């Protein structure tokens, strides 16, 4: 019932906005659907809005709150069904490929060729931005999910260094709990539980196991003892969140670490944008480090803007938006604020802080050593049906419906059914 109401509301919302948007778009602007509604995300988005307004291109904003973009994708489907797709839409990985295969996206080949995207956008992103040789979206950034964010003063007060191994991490959690500090700030939403699982699974299965399970959907890997261990580690994490974690938005969990209420948050590097938006400095106020046991890997998700076909060739506004997104100056200015790293390999790291510089170095190293993997939680390992099947099992386990052994059996079955 809940999902029906959600969809009905989404359609109503979409149809209400349509009239306004169509009118705004008729004045040569762009209507952009996205889910960047937190403080840090909005600050980053303003960089793009101002860039376009500087080119005389008006921006009709269509924000749809809900981390990870599930709600935004529901509204998008309603808008497309109503025959009035937005000009541009934030999208992730396999969702982009799905829309392209439905013939819904404009061809960006001309702007891509004119600006040499093929030479500067990493292959890992082109895998999702080009479908059947056609550029269908403009990559904005590269985020990664296997990060931990820590309040430095809280760790210092408890004699805790950035943990290198799972055992170090578990010991740090025990210390914080004994000191009466919430060890882990978390938001109990399926996409957040899955984001944590990205890192825990990588640390437990290792890169080959992660690839076999989440990218290749190998039943043996999905049902392995290592996967049972991953769910047992999720039990430890569940035991170290506060009582009010359920339903909390991700940026409110980040705020708990920012203000010292909690020691750690396991979240993608969009969390860094919240620290910066709060005026915090890496190395002084907070620490950023790879989840223990995943220091050599990167589980990535790239935000891209899909240009929806408006009934003809790509519009001049869509081409201008795509060009603005891939410009080196924008790539630096936006990603410095967003917490992500540039979507092109020729952008200097000069403007980036220590966490950003580490993110850029980690991405290059992982790409070079075969340790760069699409995030399962953020639609870069498999399509939405498989991703959502995994979400259901991971969040059911996190909420105590399954023990680790049962969760693994449910995971194997759910993935088999979803394919
Ligand atoms: C991710 C997206 C990020 C950020 C995050 C939280 O899927 O790539 O840009 O929006 O969700 O909502």
DSSP 185-197: ---BSHHHHHHHH
Q: How far apart are CA 379 and CA 369, in angstroms?
A: 22
Domain for residue 228, yes or no? yes
Ligand 1: which atom is nearest the Cα of residue 379?
A: 7
Within 10 angstroms of residue 316's Cβ, the number of other Cβ atoms is 10
Q: Are residues 171 and 243 in the same domain?
A: yes
Kindly give the distance from the C-alpha atom of residue 178 to the centroid of ligand 1, in angstroms, as a whole number.
33
Kindly give the distance from the C-alpha atom of residue 270 to the centroid of ligand 1, in angstroms, as a whole number.
7
| 8 Å CB contact between 335 and 341 | yes
User: Residue 201's closest CA among 373, 386, 53?
Assistant: 373
Read off the pLDDT of each residue in 125-150 and give the average, rounded to a whole number: 97
Computed over every residue of the chain, the mean pLDDT equals 93
- The burial of 339, by beta-carbon neighbours within 10 Å (0-12 exposed, 13-18 middle, 19 or more buried), is given as buried
pLDDT at 77: 97
pLDDT at 29: 87
Tens-digit pLDDT profile for residues 37-50: 999 999 999 999 99
Residue 387 has pLDDT above 60, yes or no: yes
Q: Are residues 51 and 159 in the same domain?
A: no
Mutate to test the pocket of ligand 1, among 303, 375, 384 (most ligand atoms within 8 A of CB): 303
Read off the pLDDT of each residue in 338-365 and give the average, rounded to a whole number: 97
Q: In this structure, what token pair is assigned to residue 172?
A: 């740090």
Kindly give the distance from the C-alpha atom of residue 203 to the centroid of ligand 1, in angstroms, as a whole number.
22
The CATH number assigned to the domain holding 198 equals 3.40.190.10
Residue 19 has pLDDT above 60, yes or no: no
Q: How many domains does the chain have?
A: 2
Residue 256 has pLDDT above 70, yes or no: yes
Kindly give the distance from the C-alpha atom of residue 328 to the centroid of ligand 1, in angstroms, as a whole number.
21
pLDDT at 57: 87
Question: Which protein residue has the closest C-alpha to ligand 1 atom 6?
Answer: 67
Question: Which protein residue has the closest C-alpha to ligand 1 atom 11?
Answer: 68
User: Residue 308's closest CA among 26, 31, 19?
Assistant: 31
CA distances from 400 to 201, 294, 310, 377, 394 (A): 18, 26, 46, 20, 10
What is the DSSP-derived secondary structure letter of residue 232? H
Which residues contact ligand 1 via a Cβ below 6 A?
Answer: 35-36, 41, 67-69, 92, 143, 250, 268, 270, 301, 303, 378
The model's confidence at residue 17, banded by pLDDT at 50, 70 and 90, is very low
Q: Enumerate helices (H) and strands (E) in the chain, giving the number of each.
A: 19, 14
Q: Are residues 79 and 19 in the same domain?
A: yes
Mutate to test the pocket of ligand 1, among 90, 143, 340 (most ligand atoms within 8 A of CB): 143
pLDDT at 11: 52
Q: Are residues 341 and 288 in the same domain?
A: no
Domain for residue 361, yes or no? no
Kindly give the distance from the C-alpha atom of residue 20 to the centroid of ligand 1, in angstroms, as a whole number.
26
Domain for residue 240, yes or no? yes
Ligand 1: which atom is nearest the Cα of residue 67?
A: 12
pLDDT at 1: 37
Residue 244 has pLDDT above 80, yes or no: yes
Strand partners, 90: 305
Q: How far apart are CA 186 and CA 383, in angstroms?
A: 25
Q: What angle do CA 136, 138, 140 make, to 5 degrees?
A: 150
Q: How far apart are CA 403 and CA 398, in angstroms?
A: 9
Tens-digit pLDDT profile for residues 118-131: 999 999 999 999 99
What is the DSSP-derived secondary structure letter of residue 312? S
Q: Strand, coil or helix: what is 136?
A: coil
pLDDT at 10: 52
Domain for residue 365, yes or no? no
Q: How far apart are CA 262 and CA 255, in angstroms?
A: 9
Q: Are residues 12 and 135 in the same domain?
A: yes
Residue 7 has pLDDT above 90, yes or no: no
Question: Which protein residue has the closest C-alpha to ligand 1 atom 5?
Answer: 68
Question: Which protein residue has the closest C-alpha to ligand 1 atom 7?
Answer: 68
Ligand 1: which atom is nearest the Cα of residue 340?
A: 9
pLDDT at 403: 98
Mutate to test the pocket of ligand 1, among 32, 34, 36, 70 (most ligand atoms within 8 A of CB): 36
pLDDT at 313: 78
Domain for residue 364, yes or no? no
Question: Which protein residue has the closest C-alpha to ligand 1 atom 2?
Answer: 68
Q: Are residues 340 and 393 in the same domain?
A: no
Within 10 angstroms of residue 15's Cβ, the number of other Cβ atoms is 13
Longest CA span, the chain: 63
Tens-digit pLDDT profile for residues 175-222: 999 999 999 999 999 999 999 999 999 999 999 999 999 999 999 999
Ligand 1: which atom is nearest the Cα of residue 41?
A: 10
Kindly give the distance from the C-alpha atom of residue 187 to the centroid of ligand 1, in angstroms, as a whole number.
14
Q: Are residues 12 and 121 in the same domain?
A: yes
Read off the pLDDT of each residue in 348-373 and give the average, rounded to a whole number: 97
The model's confidence at residue 158, banded by pLDDT at 50, 70 and 90, is very high
Q: Are residues 137 and 162 in the same domain?
A: no
Mutate to test the pocket of ligand 1, among 63, 65, 69 (most ligand atoms within 8 A of CB): 69
Domain for residue 188, yes or no? yes
Q: Strand, coil or helix: what is 112?
A: helix
Q: Are residues 161 and 288 in the same domain?
A: yes
| 8 Å CB contact between 108 and 319 | yes
pTM for the complete prediction? 0.93
User: Residue 338's closest CA among 31, 12, 47?
Assistant: 47
Residue 297 has pLDDT above 90, yes or no: yes
Kindly give the distance from the C-alpha atom of residue 69 to the centroid of ligand 1, in angstroms, as a whole number.
7
pLDDT at 8: 54
Kindly give the distance from the C-alpha atom of residue 319 to the centroid of ligand 1, in angstroms, as a whole number.
24
The model's confidence at residue 314, banded by pLDDT at 50, 70 and 90, is confident
Mutate to test the pocket of ligand 1, among 32, 35, 41 (most ligand atoms within 8 A of CB): 35
Q: Are residues 160 and 54 in the same domain?
A: no
Domain for residue 69, yes or no? yes
Q: Strand, coil or helix: what is 377?
A: coil
Tens-digit pLDDT profile for residues 39-90: 999 999 999 999 888 988 899 999 999 999 999 999 999 999 999 999 999 9
Q: Which domain holds residue 320?
A: 2-142+302-351
N- to C-terminal Cα separation, the chain: 25
Q: Are residues 202 and 176 in the same domain?
A: yes
Q: Are residues 62 and 179 in the same domain?
A: no
Q: In this structure, what token pair is assigned to residue 7?
A: 């969809």
Instruction: Give exposure, 218-249, as e/b (b: 16+ Cβ within 10 Å).
Output: eeebbbbeebbbbbebbebbbebbbeebeebb
**Which residue in this structure is represented by tokens 């005026």?**
279
Residue 24 has pLDDT above 90, yes or no: no
Question: Which protein residue has the closest C-alpha to ligand 1 atom 12?
Answer: 67
What is the DSSP-derived secondary structure letter of residue 212? I
């Amino acid at each position: 019932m809940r999902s029906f109401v959600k969809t009905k509301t989404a359609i109503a919302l979409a149809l209400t906005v349509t009239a306004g948007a169509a009118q705004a778009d008729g004045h040569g602007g762009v209507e952009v659907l996205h889910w960047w509604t937190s403080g840090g995300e909005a600050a980053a988005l303003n960089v793009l809005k101002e860039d376009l307004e500087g080119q005389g291109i008006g921006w009709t904003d269509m924000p749809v709150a809900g981390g990870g973009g599930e709600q935004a994708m529901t509204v998008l489907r309603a808008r497309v069904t109503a025959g009035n797709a937005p000009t541009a839409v934030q999208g992730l990985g396999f969702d982009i490929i799905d829309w392209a295969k439905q013939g819904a996206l404009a061809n960006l080949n001309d702007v891509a060729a004119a600006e040499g995207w093929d030479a500067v956008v990493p292959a890992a992103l082109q895998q999702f931005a080009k479908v059947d040789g056609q550029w269908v979206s403009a990559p904005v950034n590269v985020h990664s999910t296997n990060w931990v964010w820590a309040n430095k003063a809280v760790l210092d007060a408890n004699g805790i260094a950035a943990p290198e191994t799972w055992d170090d991490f578990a010991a740090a959690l025990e210390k914080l709990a004994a000191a009466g500090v919430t060890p882990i700030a978390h938001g109990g939403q399926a996409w957040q539980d899955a984001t944590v699982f990205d890192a825990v699974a990588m640390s437990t299965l290792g890169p080959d196991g992660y690839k076999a399970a989440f990218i290749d959907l190998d039943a043996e890997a999905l049902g392995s003892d290592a996967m049972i261990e991953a769910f047992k580690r999720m039990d430890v994490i569940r035991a170290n969140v506060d009582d009010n974690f359920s339903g909390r938005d991700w940026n409110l969990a980040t705020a708990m670490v920012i203000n010292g209420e909690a020691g750690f948050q396991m979240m993608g590097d969009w969390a860094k944008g919240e620290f910066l938006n709060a005026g915090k400095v890496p190395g002084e106020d907070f620490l950023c480090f790879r989840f223990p046991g995943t220091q050599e890997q990167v589980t990535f998700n790239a935000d891209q803007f899909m240009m929806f076909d408006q009934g003809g060739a790509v519009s001049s506004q869509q081409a201008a938006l795509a060009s603005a997104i891939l410009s080196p100056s924008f790539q630096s200015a936006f990603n410095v604020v967003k917490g992500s790293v540039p979507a092109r390999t020729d952008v200097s790291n000069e403007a980036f802080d220590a966490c950003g510089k580490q993110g850029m170095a980690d991405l290059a190293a992982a790409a070079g050593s075969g340790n760069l993997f699409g995030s399962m939680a953020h639609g870069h390992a498999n399509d939405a049906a498989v991703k959502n099947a995994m979400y259901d099992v991971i969040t059911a386990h996190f909420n105590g419906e399954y023990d680790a052994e049962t969760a693994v059996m449910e995971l194997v079955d759910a993935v088999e059914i979803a394919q």
